[in-house]
Structure 1
Amino acid sequence: MNQIVEISVSDKKRWNNTVKSINNYDAFYLNEYVDAFMREDESNGVPVLLYYENGADRAINVVFKRDVVKDHHFDDKLTPDTYFDLITPYGYGDFIGEITDYATLNDVYSKYCMDNGYVCEFVHFELFNDYYQRYSGETETRTHNVVRNLESPMDEIWMTSIEFIMARWNAVMQRISFTLKKTFFEKLMSMNNAVMFHVRFEEKIISTELVIYRAENCYSHLGGADFEYFYTRANDVLKFEIIKWAKEKGLKNFALGGGYGADNRIFQYKMNRALHGIKDFYIGRKIFDKVAYQQLLRIRSKGNTEMEDRLINTGFFPAYRWKGDWKNSIYATPFMDATTSCRRHRIFKVSKRSEISKTFNMPVISGESRVVA
């Protein structure tokens, strides 16, 4: 009998045991990972693990369940626990496992969502999974990720990109700041699949990167550097040490993240480390309950047909969660969720005085930086 079972984030043991029963599961599905994001920002919603079984077919999916009534546009207009929309966690997601009958999986999932008041979903598809090709909703790729294959010799991996790095270094790294709480890192680092790398220079941490990994792949997840020490090229040292560590662990791929296109400087910086490793990143959306979706859109637009059309034309999904103003609607990106953009990597600044390894009691692999003339 085919069915989907929903596992609560509060049931950590059952959650992780279910995830680890799937071959080649990824760290983004683990309880500690999604719990950290839930506690960081309640607007992310409540994470749930979906376990699917149909004969020999077994699969999991992790989503954040968001109650629409908590959006301020629907204050006093809806009953709590009536309408929800779903979004995959920051990182990657979708159904992974041993699947032979995708049509049945999609049908069962759609019915399950209808029965549980899940109006629609927004998906960031797994990089190393082809479920997006079998997804029953709409999909597209507007951004790319850079993936460094780790099966080549170490000297070949590094020398294929070093000339490009030296030529373009001064035109590359434009930084943005993003603040995350200490408890977020503590929760994330409680996973066995997370490692923090540091570069020290003159007894200071000047560059750091958090890497999440599993059986075959590792991901550059969060990172940053002290602006004052960019001249040391500490980020190059950091990437070199991470690649070396990943090869020693027998990992096959290092996903550096993405950007908005070939002209984006951050994307160029990453691409220099994997000249032939550009991989399309797919996103998707699906409306399970078209009647409910239309009703929510009508409430959001206050019954004004013209406003409803404008909401749809922003390109945000779901349209009823559009949070921008009409003057800036030109910046809306099709398929971009109203609260979570397609951008894969956030950057946080490391304070000059921070001693991250001591503060968070996390595993450290340190590289010593040399000043480059």
Structure 2
Amino acid sequence: MRSRRVPIRLPHHMTRLKLLTILAALVAAAPAQGAVRGLGSWDPIAQRMVREAGVLPSRPAGGFGGAQRLDGAELNDAFAALSMRLGLPAVRVWGGHVSVTRFDALLVEQLGMSDVAQAVQAEAQRAGLRPGPRFGTEVVARELDLRFNHDSAHDAQELYPWEAITRAEAAWSLAIVLQWGHTQPEAVGPGSQQAYARDVLSHFVLPAYTRAQRAALRIAVSKVGMPYIWGGETDWAGSWFGWQAHGGYDCSGLVWRVFILGRQPAGARIHGRTAAAMAAEIPRSQRLRMDETQPGDLLFFGRARIWSRVTEANVTHVGIAIGNGWMINSSSQGVTIAPLWEDWRVKGFSFAGRIL
């Protein structure tokens, strides 16, 4: 059994179902503008919302075309419409297909958060983690809740970061931004999602690493932006432990990729494949509290506590500490970094284990 998908950052952040519930209520309350046809096979609520807001209309040939690639000219028009709602200058986008990471970077720029992304990028670079060129914008996009995974039954619908984004995926992210205007008094001011993300990421400061810590964390950081895939431990479909429908990682699969497939010496201390199996390998006498953690430690979450007998039911998530109150993990937003001081992580923390 692979590691289970866990909810992210409640109550500030919401699951895709909760977000869709909000979007559904907003669409139901919106004035009717005629019948909506051809919305695609999934996420019709988000597609309808961006269509009726004039941000991403149906294609001239008819229908929304959710499975079709988003064109740069369409995104340019979407940003023009969005900028009027946000009171921010429109970002110019040229024609041609837009990759997932390029879309994320452009939307982060449109939301006035490029400086935050640059600071995150620079800090990871300063710490010697060799982040990819889109690391900063991928982190910010996830802190803004703009990127979210399909449920495990639809893993095959995920996109690789380098693939052209579809209109349906773009509609999801754009609908989230539109939703801010309905649920937040100021879409871009104090108390907004941007202000929250800016505050959280202002604390992204990394420590000095040992050679072993740096080697392992470089592998982990290189996977930021990859989707969460149930049973996933590689960049491609197929798996060492059975089939994965798409390239990507579940929480323990990321740990497996970093330390075992990444041929790190510490991998010799890991034998289990699930979060619970890994946690069970840490003797009670060697379990660590949150304030005792160091970069490279495995962080376990669930109902178990430092004295508990570990089961598959009471340890349901694992991440890798990167230091100063941050971890890297694969959860509902795919592989990204996350602060450890947020409420659900504090309450859900079980214990840590040192393998480096």
TM-score (norm 2): 0.23
Larger strand share, 1 or 2: 1
Higher relative contact order (CA 8 A, sep 6+): 1
Greater C-alpha radius of gyration: 1
